[in-house]
Amino acid sequence: MKFKNSCTALLFCLSIFTLQGQTLHFDRVEPPNWWSGMNRPFLQVMFYGEDIGSMDSLILDYPGVRLSQVHKMPNPNYLFVDLYFMDACPAGNISFRFFKAGHETDYSYPILQRDASLHANMGLKPNDLIYLIMPDRFANGNKRNDVVKGMRETDINRDSMYDRHGGDLEGIIDKLDYLQDLGVTALWLNPVLENDMPRTSYHGYAATDLYKVDPRLGDNKTYKKLAADLHGKGMKLVMDVVHNHVGAEHWFIKDLPGPKWVHEHAYFTKSNYRASVMMDPHASQYDKKKFNEGWFVKAMPDLDQSNPYLANYLIQNNIWWIEYAGVDAFRLDTYAYSDPKFLQKWSTEILKEYPKLFSFAETWVNGVQIQSYFHGNNGLKTTFNSKLPGLADFQLYFAITKALNEPYGWTEGWSRIYYTLVADYLSGDASHNVIFLDNHDASRFFSVVDGDMDKFKMGIALLMTMRGIPCLYYGTEILMKGFSNPDGLVRSDFPGGWKKDKSNKFNASGRSAEENEAFNYIRTLAQWRKSNPAIEKGKLMQYVPDDGVYVYFRYTDNHAVMVALNSNDKVKYLDASPLGERLSGYLTGTDVISGKKITNLGTFTLQAKSALIIDLSK
């Protein structure tokens, strides 16, 4: 293939060219634009359209950009073009000139100026509170986008857990004041990208276009507005990213670029879902291959990230959304199932561009040692380093939910939490793990504790004061219920998110006394923890649980918070003498929930089935 270079700025152009008397358009050009001044100098642009790969030559002329290489695919409908950006590259439009059989076609590719203000407060900290929302089930702010013509799923049925209900981004934007009042500082939405699947597309995990917000949720501009409105309130946006799979109706699945874009099998092969094979020194290659290359379900083709073109495509897509919308953090879905070399490359490339970006991975595995393997910089003797600052801490989730539902014992009750935290030595910095009591896949917490308000409050107290970054699932604050059998039962609509709802639990007047009790308990802790230095920067010290009482501290050199939990059905009196190591130098404290001053730090009265949280003062 011949390529002509301009002696000036070394660039290339493309768009539409004439082939056998017909003018053909590029159906896709991705990323749709890029930015000047990026730290990452390499960009691979994918052009897609009928027989595009049969072009003869390509010329690009633009200051500060050099055409490095052009790659033809086995499928002639694809062309991948490598660009190299020099420091002096200005904003403007790259003109690509494609030649085919003597015909020339130009394509104007936008290079935009970066907006550094979008990334001013990027990242998450331990004093943040994440709020997880399934957009289709939270609030309907725009009924006009409930049904979108031309999409495969066209009905709204709120009586079905599998159908779309109509929640959208505008509905979420309308409720930002509610979330801010609750104490939320970061918003994590289940995937918002287009899921043009025939059925059950509401959850967002079967994308059919990675550069487009699902029209039933809004559009790209609305997503960008959500990020801007959050930033205006001092809040942050967490984007849910899926590298492992896409939906079977994704446009590139319908016309694959070539082999090794997805994991192909002679017959449908499911993953064995055993992440343990990744670090098992005795694992068979058969089991490893089945874990990484097996599919979740037939509707979600398993991507092969060992393909360098796909790897670049996914990395650039994630960078594009950060740069376009001002995303502050990523949650990485089904993390362990992707190609390990890709995962390390992904972290390297993302952190090179955004050193302050926070990413945490879903690692729904069994065993602390298996979870720790995926934590960045863990110091373990393995060849894998995710470089991730945090993980979704399923092991602590398992421990908390079990501890609250069983009597205290040597390994039961609070001892489960104690031993889970002991294993933090296997991780990197566990203070950046994301901790939770429920989520979109797990049974709702209030149901897990059998509607016991005392247990509910103890769980919330743990969530808000434990090491890590807490995540609250939408509706937990109003005691929404449901067991994940099936998972649609934990994805109910937030009452009041639709105009015709019988009750509106976004307002105190629409909530029951018990719901307001739960809301206010969470709100008190959430607002308090935002500015507490021991929560933001403090270490954790725990004491061995004894007789159903568990005590731990969050502390810095100058500040400390004491948490004492009593799982017994009767009052317990706690002698503070064993706690002198942490209480030394402190004279008084404040009960965070009641606001009462505590002047005696020698003995503490722990009410039955309760949490005592004391903000200590010198």
Region of residue 413 (phi > 0: left; psi between -120 and 50: alpha; otherwise: beta): left
CB atoms within 10 A of CB 21: 6
Q: Is the separation of the CB atoms in 107 and 101 below 8 Å? A: no
Catalytic residue among 323, 349, 362, 477, which? Answer: 362
Q: Which amino acid is located at 432 in the chain? A: H
The one-letter amino acid at 210: L
- Give me 471's structure tokens: 């995540």
How many Å apart are CA 306 and CA 3, to the nearest integer?
A: 28
Parallel, antiparallel, or unpaired: how do β-strands 539-542 and 469-473 relate? unpaired
The residues, any chain, with a CB within 8 Å of residue 335's CB and separated by 6 or more, are 243, 244, 343, 361, 362, 363, 374, 386
H and E: helices and strands count for the chain: 15, 29
Q: Tokens representing 511?
A: 């909530």
Exposure string of 272-306, with b = 16+ CB inside 10 Å and e = fewer, is bebbbbbeeeeeeeebbebbbbbbbeebbbbbbbb
**How many Å apart are CA 604 and CA 606, to the nearest integer?**
6
Query: Would you give the distance in Å from CA 250 to the centre of its chain?
Result: 21
Element (H, E) at 69: strand 65-72
**373-394 burial, b for 16+ CB within 10 Å, e for fewer?**
bbbbebeeeeeebbbbbbbbbb
Candidate list 61, 249, 304, 333, residue with the active-site label: 333
Cβ contact 24:17 at 8 Å: yes
333 is a catalytic site residue: yes
Q: In whole angstroms, give the CA distance from residue 261 to residue 244.
A: 12
Residues with Cβ < 8 Å from 187, sequence gap 6 or more?
Answer: 130, 131, 133, 172, 179, 226, 230, 235, 236, 237, 238
Label each residue of 163-220 as H, E or C.
Answer: CECCCCHHHHHHCHHHHHHHCCCEEEECCCEECCCCCCCCCCCCCCEEEEECCCCCCH
Supply the residues annotated as catalytic: 333, 362
